[in-house]
Amino acid sequence: MEELELTGQTRHKTPDELSGLTAVILDGENVYVDKGALHAKSRVERGISFSDDPARRGQGRRVALVWVSLGRSEQHQPCVHGLGACEMWVNEDDQTGYKRLAEHVNQMDQAVKGRVSVDVLGSEERRRLADFFAENHRDVWEASSASLRDALLR
């Protein structure tokens, strides 16, 4: 019988393309970064049993999750490289929710590839996300491409 080769490493390693990835949650008026979303363990997801049954959509409250990929501008400044937005519905009363995991993965991929996919966000959500970047990470926001900023401010 062949013996398993264990490395003894205790740290989780992240592929390079995911090392600059994080999630910004838009939950009502609250906008915040939640790194737990990378493992489907954001603050709003914990304790919720999710279904991809379309009948569950619209039950509870809508929460938008925006995958944010960070990179470097042409001037080598930290910037937002890509954005991918998706939604979920959370009903804390019965600890159930709706989300399409495939859509979350696809939007994460869009962000990592440097694309901007925020169609699921309404104009008010886009403005709040732009304000979040401008107020909390002004240097990153200003170094981001004009097309990315315009996508949020349109």
- Give 44's pLDDT tier (boundaries 50, 70, 90): very high
Residue 13 domain flag: no
- Give 16's pLDDT tier (boundaries 50, 70, 90): low
| Domain of residue 25, residue span | 20-153
Residue 94 domain flag: yes
Residue 89 domain flag: yes
Residue 5 domain flag: no
Would you state the pLDDT for residue 42? 92
Report d(CA 98, CA 120) in Å as an integer.
15
Residue 39 domain flag: yes
pLDDT higher at 94 or 20: 94
What are 74-100's pLDDT values in tens digits? 889 999 999 999 999 999 999 999 999
- Give 18's pLDDT tier (boundaries 50, 70, 90): low
Closest by CA to 107, choosing from 99, 115, 97, is 115
Would you state the pLDDT for residue 46? 94
- Give 10's pLDDT tier (boundaries 50, 70, 90): very low
Counted domains in the chain: 1
CB 70 within 8 Å of CB 80? yes
Residue 6 has pLDDT above 90, yes or no: no
Q: What is the phi/psi pair of residue 8, to 5°?
A: 80, 5
Would you state the pLDDT for residue 106? 96
Angle between helices 123-136 and 146-153 (to 10 degrees): 130
Residue 4 domain flag: no
Residue 76 domain flag: yes
Residue 80 domain flag: yes
